[in-house]
Structure 1
Amino acid sequence: MNPMVSIIMATYNRAHFIKETLNSISAQTYSNWECLIIDDGGTDNTKCVIAPILEKESRFQFLKRPNDYAKGLPGCRNFGLDLAKGNYIIFFDDDDIVHPQNLELCVQELEDTDVYFCRYIRNVFFENFDYNFDFSKEYSSFYIDEKDIDRMLKNELPFNSCAVMWKSACLKENRFSENLMYAEEWELYSRILSAGFKGVSIEKCLFFGRKHPNSNTGEFYSNNSIRKDSYVEAILLVVQNLKEKQLLSTSLKRYFVTLSRGFKEYNLFENILKIFDLPTSEKLKWQLFYTTLPLRLFVYRIKKKVLKKI
């Protein structure tokens, strides 16, 4: 019998963290799953560390990424997607902790035929994890669809990579862009949402991300050039997709133009403006917006300080 849920986990030199992550998956209250662990060419002793788990638990599979998938997280995940047998797909990282009810509650929500993904809350932790889980099954929820793409892209409604379970139909035509080394899930998930898939968000924390400087996010905020290059490319892919689907609202145009100020060395504003493909008058309007943005932000901060003192 095929598993209902396919967990896809890319790993690279995480022997010091992965065992704790796999143990949290083994502790799931829902049992009908497979976990595909895709090694990205690591050089540490990950396989030796998890060998006892692999021997004891057949639901885990340890596989090497083939060379016809690009090195990196997206390539590993795409390889996993091509092997996955489950009706539902979820991506877990190799250094985090999964709430015991994660799969159970997501599967329960996805039994609704009109719902194609289940988003939930993800919290973070540093160093040692506190295993004092909340096992309550009472939580609020709300629906998400195409109209929420603004909030998703602006991170007002975060879609963390490991905080969504998808029906496999969402990923049939949508795969990770293998040339991206950062923001790959942000780009892919916005594509899925813009394709018209409706989902549900449950207000319960079901995943705990470990914070450490060697994570992709940690490297991005340390100005790693590979991560920054990838983010710029992801932004352009997102803008192009929204333009093609006629979902590029004025609010999103303003957001991306504002965002481009932080990437002047990439000529990001000029490249975004090309994708907008606007009439001359509207193009001039956005050029003026971009040029005067620093002054307006300065005035805004001054006003904010003044209002605080009143």
Structure 2
Amino acid sequence: MDIDPNILVSIIVPTFNRSKYLEKTLKSVKNQSLQNWECIIVDDGSTDNTAAVVEKISGEDQRFQYYIRSKDFAKGACGARNYGFVKSRGKYIQWLDDDDLLSENKLELQVQKLEEADLKQFTTCDWDVYWEGKDFEPHNVIDDDEVLLPQDFFNSLVKRETYVPPHAYLIPRALAVLAGPWNIHLSINQDAEYFTRIILVSNGLVNTKGCRVLYGVHDGERISSSFNSKNLASLIYGYKLIQAHLKLKDVQAKSFMKWKLRKLLLLFGKSDKELIRNNKYLFIENGVYPSRYTYYITRYKIFKIVMPWYKRYFK
């Protein structure tokens, strides 16, 4: 299928003091086989040489557009994304963090997939974390010919014990409008809450074969890699919102909530007892009991010891 050359994809990149990674990310955009795109880089107040990196590449290619986040939009990645969306014009939206990478055919294949799909579907692809020298190991939440509706999507996340980074998706602009902006009150877990709203207003998620994305991992620089009380509060608030969104649409995803909240209890049950206790009804409602923390952590430690042995001798 030939793609209509007038179809525009908007790639929105929030950035803050990540110039050492940003250039490589923007090169993965510049190398796209699909030519009709705009890349909107929104600087959230960088004090490094981000401006110089972006001005160099935008001087060579005017499809790159550089903005300083407007003061009318909240500070942080979500505010920068929302500002970038306002500045965008594309039929399709590609969210991209400033240290992540797209395969050269990602936009072309995903636009082609969506042009053949239902108007209210969105798409994902294979992904993996990366660091220097790491081989690609594909992860996905969906099989090739499936259409995942909301309940299937959350069940698949649990079954595969995975997640989906935001840049694996390509979203029709119309879905992004229906779902609403990124939640500026979340410091972590924003993508899970945002894409819950996306899938709930969609007619399902489809897979695009033959392309992939890479998710950057750098020694604790990701917000999601730092565990503290502020981030725990944001995680809990995010899961409360997700549960509320699901209930509103009558989507049953208790296994997902139980899986996520049990992981939170294992991570924070000892260090942040008061915060866990103050939100105990969220945990209990989903079959996770903070009073059983010692039991959960003991079982988890036994599992970590036994599972490698089991895989070695019985698989």
1-side partners of 2:63 and 2:253: how far apart?
45
Question: Is the Cα contact below 8 Å between 2:239 and 2:257 reproduced in 1?
Answer: no
Query: Hey, what does 1:118 align to over in structure 2?
Result: 123
- 1:10 pairs with 1, 14, 27, which one? 14
* Deviation larger for 1-10 or 52-61: 1-10
1-side partners of 2:85 and 2:45: how far apart?
18
Equivalence map 1:221-260=2 (5 Å):
221-252=225-256, 254-260=258-264
**1:75–1:197 Cα change, 3 Å:** farther
Q: TM-score, normalised by structure 1?
A: 0.81
The one-letter amino acid of 2:189's match is A
SS in 2 for 1:61: strand
Query: Hey, what does 1:184 align to over in structure 2?
Result: 190
Equivalence map 1:212-291=2 (5 Å):
212-216=218-222, 219-252=223-256, 254-262=258-266, 263-264=268-269, 265=272, 267-268=275-276, 271=279, 273=281, 286=287, 291=291
Q: TM-score, normalised by structure 2?
A: 0.80
Query: Hey, what does 2:39 align to over in structure 1?
Result: 35
Question: Is the Cα contact below 8 Å between 2:124 and 2:206 reproduced in 1?
Answer: yes
SS in 2 for 1:162: helix
* TM-superposed deviation, 1:128: 6.5
Query: Hey, what does 1:91 align to over in structure 2?
Result: 95
Question: Is the Cα contact below 8 Å between 1:3 and 1:34 reproduced in 2?
Answer: no
- 2:112 pairs with 108, 113, 117, which one? 108
Question: Is the Cα contact below 8 Å between 1:142 and 1:202 reproduced in 2?
Answer: no
CA deviation map 1:60-113 (0-9, x unaligned): 000011112111111111111112111100111112222110111110101124
Listed as ranges, the gaps of 5+ residues in structure 1 are 133-138, 277-282
Listed as ranges, the gaps of 5+ residues in structure 2 are 137-142
1-side partners of 2:200 and 2:163: how far apart?
15
Pair 1:167-2:175 in alignment: no
2-side partners of 1:301 and 1:128: how far apart?
30
2-side partners of 1:142 and 1:120: how far apart?
12
* TM-superposed deviation, 1:122: 1.4
The one-letter amino acid of 1:124's match is V
1-side partners of 2:77 and 2:256: how far apart?
27
- 1:149 pairs with 136, 150, 153, which one? 153
Count matched residues.
Answer: 293
Question: Is the Cα contact below 8 Å between 1:140 and 1:203 reproduced in 2?
Answer: yes
Query: Hey, what does 1:280 align to over in structure 2?
Result: none
- 1:127 pairs with 118, 125, 132, which one? 132
**Cα RMSD, aligned residues only:** 3.3
Query: Hey, what does 1:136 align to over in structure 2?
Result: none
Question: Is the Cα contact below 8 Å between 1:123 and 1:205 reproduced in 2?
Answer: no
SS in 2 for 1:124: strand
1-side partners of 2:156 and 2:82: how far apart?
23
1-side partners of 2:195 and 2:104: how far apart?
24
Query: Hey, what does 1:71 align to over in structure 2?
Result: 75
1-side partners of 2:263 and 2:41: how far apart?
35
Pair 1:22-2:44 in alignment: no
* Deviation larger for 205-214 or 166-175: 205-214
Question: Is the Cα contact below 8 Å between 1:187 and 1:237 reproduced in 2?
Answer: yes
2-side partners of 1:17 and 1:274: how far apart?
38
SS in 2 for 1:119: strand
